[in-house]
């Protein structure tokens, strides 16, 4: 810089940042940069510095001779906006920023946290939008809460927690809230149980009022042609094969780009209702609404088979659409979003609503259980599980889940997303044979019940074809002759890499003539080889001095996959003879209310100068494209627009009037190119004389409600007029921001040496893709480190957040050939067993000159200078192959891990026998080894028969069940050995004793017989004392009472025992009858004197007649009678008789006189 004292500024400054100590050789460079040739500004963007440490900056003037160049300079150091780590209570006034939980980007949060983030930007702020990019918290009691205000006492916007039985915690992506109070507070509380990834989010503020997303527009429709119109594209031809959906469960959706759904148009399948119907809620409701209905749809067997729940529950309320799709390219792809009301309450339950996209046709290797169909509704690799409630939710694969419980656009509580919300939809992809018809089955159903609806949004069916676009570098959106020598760039992009080369023809048409009106070195064909995704070609206008009007260049990509030429995409470019500067898109008059201002707008150039009749009406200056004009009287104003050496003038009349009009946006006014916003001019003049300006990007500039779709940041003015008086209002539409890094200059490096390709851009929504990816550490970074093997031209394609904006630029890295590669073995790490050798072979760019192996420790044969050697390491060793070429030294290496095994033999069986009886416990024992010497050793016993201990142990305990040879497989990384032992088992034979239950009478005998198919010896009986023999299998038993018998013996030295046999002995009671008894006439007598057995029957008979069935019956015969008693119990019978004598006279006795006896004497009565 010139400081006015005659000093000379640095011509081409360069700057280096150091850390260390300010002493000789005490500093280490951290980063450096130099200005481009002819430029006087250089910048460094450095992150990751250590707080509190000193850093040093060196500024000098770069020149090729390295001679000192003195000069003055201005140094500006600005601290980067901080990323907030929420490990304490934080209050910030930043209008935009980022925040992580206390674990930062890579670690988990801590237990028992209770922190708040309060965002209060300087006024005026009408809306703060907070985007929670991802969150993963404990689903039990951890909670994230958002408040619309400066504290946790402010109104709650929403809360994410599993507490209070909500089940809405866990993880998710793409969660957004808005605060309209001017402040937003976020609180995060954790318990002490589980700590997880936490969260990452960012916010931005706006002076515009918060504008919520619209509800999705849906229409229940099963008309085949309507469905085809919403699915087919020029690359696919769709034919409806079958629609098996209940009434109202299939339909279409549109205007998805005005919602937070993530898809613009397509079809929708539901297990419930698509539209609201009476008391049934359809899809077009906020997430706080509940959708649950019974459609009467049946089940689908393919969905039942694919379900992960495995509980056998059939699907129901199914909606199935089957299509035949003719694909003109080699790929079929479409976007989709699964959504369900089963989220989150019924995650991992049997209520597992499911859907599938099943494709079949040539080249498709599907599942034979579902007619060789392949389900392409799966998560991206490496997961690749079918998408359903139990596979994608807030607990499982949460990186693909969107919590929509408070969502503004669709009714369902949960939606699917791409990984971490890179886009809000998943992609179904199938590699197909071009020009072939494939069958596609789309199906969804409830499972477990018919409640809690689910659905799937499906976008258009597309092929994997390139797109063509132009990047204007001249500041305007057309080519113009003779204004600037800046070239514009035509970019041809392929959405995904391909496996085989694909060639497209380029067809150029239009009214402009190549090489006369424009220069474009575009080949007749381009070929995308594997790894290619983009081509760029410069285009510029030629000055011919002829007034030809606006001419066009139309560029089409055409290919024939075997079914005719198809123009996949066409780009139209305008060429203007002159600069065309227009105020308000060429309007003649602009209306200005008395005492107010109007924001001017001009297009068609880069630099502008405004001229007015009234002085000083433009602020902040008259040399910007959009100054504010404040006229007090009607007047004509002029603008001079300039682009390079070209200029143009436009005029407009400012009419000062006094009506009223106000612009109200229906949806957000900030988006990327290609999006739109609905603007409504609310006015007090009945929409009279409505004029929007500029008209660029508007569907109807004379309507009170317009759709605005500007390509750049645009301030729209609406004017209404009534009797010559007008009013206007303005609104600014902001296009999606786009950050493109500064690429390093083309450079030369040694092979295998790194180089940073561009300056790093942190905290941006722009995404980056470098091609080719070979040699890059991160092809998605704005500033990757490249280590190319050969001279490589890298192309950077930067894309805005929603892929509406993109730009490409190249850098060439020239590589000095100095490469060494170990080509044998092909791996960087190899495992061998002790005693084995490895062939090592290296290839160099010098045919071995300057090559050597290391270490030179005697394990390499024949010579460390040979490129092909044999290595026999005795310990694990890192072998290096080095190559020296001039000042370049490059390396390749291989790590050879050496392992061994202990003595692998089976030394003992316990017990040690030649044969074993079935059921015996046997321990298989081997010599003991020290586990610390073999940390990675593993064992596996097979077959798994009778195992009593785990199959992974060195020794094994089994229970003998059958004769088996047991094999132990022992591995230690590359070492493997086996040991085996044969166990011969004698199977258990049978010994059956009959009868197993019997009854006999007291004193009787019964035959016992033991049966066996095998010869039994060493026979023994229990209770053998009542048997006729105790060493035979057919004894006769004569038990004295009820007795249980068992017989045992030996079969091939293995014991065998029979079933028990119980012989019951029946004992009849003794009645104690007298042989005879005498009674007097008319007297009675009881003859039975024994114990009565309740199990026996008693029958008294006399003269062949039954008299009584009572054992203790009383008898009073008139004459002498004989009575018979029969006692029975089963087959046992006893018969007794007793005679009762009836006396005719009573007996008498007389004693003559009383006798006199001495003690001990007897006396006979007679």
CATH of the domain at 120: 2.60.120.290
Flag whether pLDDT at 690 surpasses 90: no
Strand 114-119 relative to strand 90-92: parallel, antiparallel, unpaired?
Answer: parallel
Nearest to 240 by CA among 171, 123, 320: 320
Of the given ranges (367-381, 413-427, 682-696), which has the lowest mean pLDDT? 682-696
Q: 80, 104, 137: which is the final residue of a domain?
A: 80
Note the pLDDT tens digit of each residue in 165-181: 456 778 999 899 999 88
Within a domain: 133: yes
Provide mean pLDDT across the span 524-532.
86
What is the spatial distance between Cα 936 and Cα 876, in angstroms, rounded to a whole number? Answer: 14
Same domain? For 361 and 291 the reply is: yes
Same domain? For 439 and 307 the reply is: yes
Provide mean pLDDT across the span 184-194.
92
- Residue 1093: give its domain's CATH number: 2.60.40.10
Q: Is 240 helix (H, G, I), strand (E, B) or coil?
A: strand
- How many C-beta neighbours within 10 Å does residue 839 have? 10
Flag whether pLDDT at 3 surpasses 50: no
What is the spatial distance between Cα 426 and Cα 378, in angstroms, rounded to a whole number? Answer: 9
Helix (H) or strand (E) holding 664: strand 661-665
φ and ψ of 593, to 5 deg:
-70, 150
Provide mean pLDDT across the span 970-989.
93
What is the spatial distance between Cα 19 and Cα 22, in angstroms, rounded to a whole number? Answer: 9
**Helices marked H in 87-135:** none
266 and 460 Cβ atoms separated by less than 8 Å: yes
Higher pLDDT, 415 or 313: 415
What is the spatial distance between Cα 806 and Cα 536, in angstroms, rounded to a whole number? Answer: 12
What is the spatial distance between Cα 848 and Cα 820, in angstroms, rounded to a whole number? Answer: 9
Provide mean pLDDT across the span 589-593.
73
Note the pLDDT tens digit of each residue in 277-303: 766 778 888 777 777 777 667 788 888
Residue reference for tokens 């939008």:
129
Tokens, residue 1090: 């024994």
Same domain? For 799 and 824 the reply is: no
Angle ∠(765,108,161) on CA atoms, nearest 5: 85
Higher pLDDT, 595 or 988: 988
Same domain? For 916 and 891 the reply is: no
Chain centre distance of CA 653: 60
Counting every residue written for the chain, the total comes to 1166
Higher pLDDT, 779 or 390: 779
**Could you tell me which residues come within 8 angstroms of residue 192 by beta carbon, excluding any fewer than 6 positions away?**
111, 112
Higher pLDDT, 695 or 1009: 1009
Residues linked to residue 403 through DSSP beta bridges, in sequence order? 414
Flag whether pLDDT at 1151 surpasses 60: no
Flag whether pLDDT at 723 surpasses 50: no
**Could you tell me which residues come within 8 angstroms of residue 825 by beta carbon, excluding any fewer than 6 positions away?**
838, 839, 840, 894
Within a domain: 1151: no
Predicted confidence at residue 153, as pLDDT, reads: 94
Predicted confidence at residue 663, as pLDDT, reads: 93
Residues linked to residue 607 through DSSP beta bridges, in sequence order? 642
Within a domain: 1149: no
**Model confidence at 65, in pLDDT bands (50, 70, 90)?**
low
Q: Is the peptide bond before 1086 cis (omega within 30 degrees of 0)?
A: no
Angle ∠(722,727,728) on CA atoms, nearest 5: 135
* Signed CA dihedral, 77, 82, 87, 90: sign only: positive
**Model confidence at 1011, in pLDDT bands (50, 70, 90)?**
very high
Percent of the chain's residues with pLDDT above 90: 37
Q: Which of 32-46, 241-255, 801-815, 832-846 has the highest mean pLDDT?
A: 832-846
Same domain? For 281 and 420 the reply is: yes
56 and 27 Cβ atoms separated by less than 8 Å: yes
Flag whether pLDDT at 164 surpasses 60: no
Higher pLDDT, 1153 or 786: 786
DSSP string of 1042-1060, one letter each residue: -EEE-EEEEETTEEEE---
Provide mean pLDDT across the span 461-479.
80
Same domain? For 471 and 508 the reply is: yes
Of the given ranges (16-30, 128-142, 456-470, 716-730), which has the lowest mean pLDDT? 716-730
**Model confidence at 461, in pLDDT bands (50, 70, 90)?**
confident
Same domain? For 339 and 392 the reply is: yes
Residue reference for tokens 């060439």:
812
Within a domain: 1154: no
Provide mean pLDDT across the span 83-105.
92
Full domain range(s) for residue 441: 217-458
Tally the domains of the chain.
10
Flag whether pLDDT at 724 surpasses 50: no
Tokens, residue 332: 């079929």
198 and 531 Cβ atoms separated by less than 8 Å: no
Of the given ranges (326-335, 559-568, 779-788, 1100-1109), which has the lowest mean pLDDT? 559-568
φ and ψ of 694, to 5 deg:
-70, 160
φ and ψ of 539, to 5 deg:
-140, 140
Q: What is the DSSP letter of 717?
A: E
Tokens, residue 733: 């539409």
Predicted confidence at residue 309, as pLDDT, reads: 45
C-alpha distances out from residue 839 to 206, 299, 896, Å: 67, 61, 11
**Model confidence at 984, in pLDDT bands (50, 70, 90)?**
very high
Predicted confidence at residue 41, as pLDDT, reads: 78
Tokens, residue 682: 């609310």
Predicted confidence at residue 939, as pLDDT, reads: 94
823 and 842 Cβ atoms separated by less than 8 Å: yes
Note the pLDDT tens digit of each residue in 88-98: 999 998 888 99
Note the pLDDT tens digit of each residue in 944-955: 999 999 999 999
Tokens, residue 929: 């080894």
Flag whether pLDDT at 882 surpasses 90: yes
The model scores a pTM over 0.85: no
DSSP string of 742-799, one letter each residue: PBPPPEEEETT--EE-B----S-S-EEEEES-TTBS-TTSSS-EE--SS-EEEEEEEE
Same domain? For 269 and 393 the reply is: yes
What is the spatial distance between Cα 305 and Cα 300, in angstroms, rounded to a whole number? Answer: 9
Percent of the chain's residues with pLDDT above 70: 92
Predicted confidence at residue 233, as pLDDT, reads: 74
Same domain? For 947 and 1048 the reply is: no
Q: What is the DSSP letter of 113?
A: -
Predicted confidence at residue 1144, as pLDDT, reads: 79
* Signed CA dihedral, 386, 389, 391, 397: sign only: positive
585 and 603 Cβ atoms separated by less than 8 Å: yes
Predicted confidence at residue 695, as pLDDT, reads: 79
Note the pLDDT tens digit of each residue in 485-494: 778 889 988 7
- How many C-beta neighbours within 10 Å does residue 974 have? 16
**Model confidence at 350, in pLDDT bands (50, 70, 90)?**
low
Same domain? For 159 and 275 the reply is: no
Q: What is the mean pLDDT of the chain?
A: 86
Flag whether pLDDT at 891 surpasses 50: yes
Tokens, residue 152: 């946790």
Note the pLDDT tens digit of each residue in 1072-1088: 899 888 899 888 999 89
Q: Is 633 helix (H, G, I), strand (E, B) or coil?
A: coil
Flag whether pLDDT at 10 surpasses 90: no
Within a domain: 732: no
Predicted confidence at residue 668, as pLDDT, reads: 83
Predicted confidence at residue 313, as pLDDT, reads: 63
Same domain? For 1043 and 1090 the reply is: no
Provide mean pLDDT across the span 999-1008.
90
Q: Which of 341-350, 357-366, 376-385 has the highest mean pLDDT?
A: 357-366
Q: 80, 96, 113: which is the final residue of a domain?
A: 80
Within a domain: 773: yes
Flag whether pLDDT at 1096 surpasses 70: yes
Chain centre distance of CA 260: 20
Note the pLDDT tens digit of each residue in 143-158: 999 999 999 999 999 9
Q: 816, 834, 868: which is the final residue of a domain?
A: 816
Within a domain: 556: yes
Provide mean pLDDT across the span 582-605.
80
Helix (H) or strand (E) holding 230: helix 224-231
Residues linked to residue 994 through DSSP beta bridges, in sequence order? 1009
Residues linked to residue 662 through DSSP beta bridges, in sequence order? 682
**Model confidence at 731, in pLDDT bands (50, 70, 90)?**
very high
Same domain? For 190 and 234 the reply is: no
Of the given ranges (114-118, 558-562, 605-609), which has the lowest mean pLDDT? 558-562
Flag whether pLDDT at 463 surpasses 90: no
Predicted confidence at residue 449, as pLDDT, reads: 62
What is the spatial distance between Cα 95 and Cα 85, in angstroms, rounded to a whole number? Answer: 17
Within a domain: 1152: no
Predicted confidence at residue 166, as pLDDT, reads: 54
């Amino acid at each position: 810089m010139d400081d006015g004292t005659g000093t000379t500024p640095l011509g081409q400054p360069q700057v280096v940042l150091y850390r260390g100590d300010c002493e000789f050789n005490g500093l280490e460079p951290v980063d450096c940069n130099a200005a481009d040739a002819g430029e006087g500004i250089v910048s460094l963007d450095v992150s990751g510095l250590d707080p509190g440490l000193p850093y040093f900056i060196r500024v000098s003037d770069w020149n090729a001779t390295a001679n000192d160049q003195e000069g003055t300079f201005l140094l500006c150091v600005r601290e980067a906006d901080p990323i907030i780590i929420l490990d304490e209570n934080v209050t910030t006034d930043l209008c935009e920023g980022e925040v992580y939980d206390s674990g930062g980007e890579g670690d988990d949060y801590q237990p028992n946290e209770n922190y708040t983030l309060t965002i209060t930007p300087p006024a005026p702020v009408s809306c703060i939008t907070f985007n929670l990019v991802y969150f993963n918290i404990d689903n039990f009691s951890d909670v994230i809460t958002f408040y619309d205000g400066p504290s946790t006492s402010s109104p709650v916007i929403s809360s994410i927690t599993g507490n209070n039985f909500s089940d809405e915690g866990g993880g998710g992506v793409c969660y957004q809230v808005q605060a309209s109070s001017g402040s937003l507070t976020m609180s995060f509380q954790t318990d002490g149980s589980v700590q997880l990834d936490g969260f990452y989010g960012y916010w931005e503020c706006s002076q515009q009022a918060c504008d919520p997303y619209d509800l999705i527009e849906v229409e229940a429709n099963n008309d085949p042609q309507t469905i085809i119109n919403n699915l087919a594209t020029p690359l696919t031809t769709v034919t409806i094969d079958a629609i098996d959906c209940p009434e109202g469960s299939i339909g279409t959706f549109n205007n998805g780009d005005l919602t937070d759904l993530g898809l613009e148009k397509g079809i929708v399948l539901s297990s419930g209702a698509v539209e609201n119907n009476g008391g049934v809620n359809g899809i077009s409701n906020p997430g706080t609404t509940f959708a649950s209905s019974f459609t009467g749809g049946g089940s689908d067997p393919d969905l039942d088979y694919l379900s992960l729940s495995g509980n056998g529950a059939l699907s129901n309320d199914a909606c199935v659409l089957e299509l035949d799709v003719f694909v003109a390219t080699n790929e079929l792809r479409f976007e989709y979003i699964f959504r369900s009301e089963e989220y989150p309450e019924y995650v991992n339950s049997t209520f597992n609503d499911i859907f599938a996209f099943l494709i079949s046709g040539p080249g498709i290797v599907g599942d034979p259980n579902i007619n060789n169909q392949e389900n392409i509704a799966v998560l991206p690799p490496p997961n690749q599980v079918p998408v359903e409630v139990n596979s994608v939710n807030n607990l499982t694969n949460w990186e693909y889940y969107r919590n929509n419980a408070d969502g503004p656009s669709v009714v369902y509580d949960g939606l699917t997303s791409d990984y971490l919300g890179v886009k809000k939809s998943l992609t179904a992809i199938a590699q197909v044979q071009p020009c072939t018809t494939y069958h596609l089955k789309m199906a969804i159903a409830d499972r477990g019940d018919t409640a809690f609806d689910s659905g799937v949004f499906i976008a258009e069916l597309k092929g994997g074809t390139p797109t063509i676009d132009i990047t204007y570098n001249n500041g305007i959106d057309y080519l113009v002759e003779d204004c600037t020598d800046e070239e514009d760039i035509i970019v041809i992009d392929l959405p995904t890499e391909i496996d085989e080369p694909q060639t497209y023809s380029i067809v150029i048409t239009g009214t402009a003539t190549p090489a006369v009106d424009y220069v474009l070195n575009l080949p007749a064909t381009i070929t995308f080889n594997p790894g290619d995704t983009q081509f760029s070609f410069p285009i510029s206008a030629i000055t011919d001095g002829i007034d030809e009007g606006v001419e066009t260049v139309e560029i089409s990509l055409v290919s024939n996959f075997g079914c005719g030429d198809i123009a996949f995409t066409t780009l139209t470019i305008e060429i203007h003879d002159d600069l065309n500067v227009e105020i308000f898109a060429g309007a003649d008059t602009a209306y200005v209310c008395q005492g107010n201002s109007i924001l001017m707008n001009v297009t068609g150039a880069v630099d502008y100068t405004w001229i007015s009749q009234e002085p000083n009406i433009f602020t902040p200056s008259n040399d910007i494209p959009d100054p504010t004009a404040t006229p007090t009287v009607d007047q004509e104003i002029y603008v001079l627009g300039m682009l390079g050496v070209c200029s143009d003038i436009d005029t407009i009349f400012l009419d000062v009037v006094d009506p009223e009009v106000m612009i109200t946006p229906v949806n957000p006014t900030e988006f990327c190119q290609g999006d739109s916003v609905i603007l409504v001019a609310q006015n007090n003049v009945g929409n009279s004389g409505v004029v929007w300006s500029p008209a660029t990007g508007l569907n109807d500039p004379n309507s009170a409600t317009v759709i605005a779709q500007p390509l750049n940041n645009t301030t729209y003015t609406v004017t209404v007029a009534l009797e010559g008086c007008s009013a206007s209002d303005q609104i600014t539409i902001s296009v999606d921001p786009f950050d493109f890094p500064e690429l390093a200059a083309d450079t030369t490096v040694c092979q295998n040496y790194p180089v940073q390709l561009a300056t790093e851009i942190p905290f941006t929504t722009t995404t980056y893709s470098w091609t080719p990816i070979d040699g890059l550490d991160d092809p998605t970074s704005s500033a990757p480190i490249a280590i190319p093997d050969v001279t490589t031209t890298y192309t950077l394609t930067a894309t805005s957040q929603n892929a509406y904006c993109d730009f490409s630029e190249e850098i060439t890295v020239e590589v000095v050939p100095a490469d060494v590669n170990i080509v044998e073995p092909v791996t960087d790490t190899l495992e061998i067993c002790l005693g084995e050798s490895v062939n090592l072979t290296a290839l160099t760019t010098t045919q071995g000159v300057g090559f050597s192996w290391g270490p030179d420790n005697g394990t390499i044969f024949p010579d460390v200078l040979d490129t092909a050697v044999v290595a026999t390491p005795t310990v694990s060793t890192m072998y290096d192959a080095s190559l020296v070429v001039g000042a370049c030294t490059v390396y390749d290496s291989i790590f050879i891990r050496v392992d061994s095994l202990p003595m692998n033999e089976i030394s003992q069986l316990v017990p040690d026998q030649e044969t074993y009886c079935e059921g015996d416990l046997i321990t298989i024992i081997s010599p003991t080894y020290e586990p610390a010497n073999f940390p990675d050793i593993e064992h596996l016993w097979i077959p798994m028969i009778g195992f009593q201990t785990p199959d992974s142990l060195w020794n094994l305990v089994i229970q003998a069940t059958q004769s088996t040879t047991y094999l132990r497989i022992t591995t230690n990384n590359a070492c493997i050995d086996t040991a085996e032992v044969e166990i011969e088992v004698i199977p258990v034979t049978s010994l059956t004793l009959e009868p197993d239950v019997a009854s006999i009478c007291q004193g009787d005998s019964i035959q016992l017989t033991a049966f066996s198919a095998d010869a039994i010896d060493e026979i023994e009986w229990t209770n053998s004392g009542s048997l006729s023999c105790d060493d035979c299998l057919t004894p006769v038993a004569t038990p004295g009472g009820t007795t249980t018998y068992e017989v045992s013996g030996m079969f091939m030295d293995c014991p065998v025992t029979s079933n028990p046999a119980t012989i019951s002995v029946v004992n009849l009671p003794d009645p104690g009858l007298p042989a005879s008894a005498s009674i007097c006439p008319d007297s009675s007598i009881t003859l039975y004197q024994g114990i009565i057995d309740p199990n026996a029957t008693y029958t008294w008979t006399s003269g062949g007649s039954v008299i009584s069935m009572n054992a203790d019956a009383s008898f009073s015969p008139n004459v002498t009678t004989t009575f018979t008693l029969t006692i029975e119990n089963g087959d046992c019978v006893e018969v007794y008789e007793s005679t009762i004598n009836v006396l005719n006279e009573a007996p008498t006795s007389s004693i003559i006189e009383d006798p006199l006896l001495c003690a001990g004497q007897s006396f006979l009565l007679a």
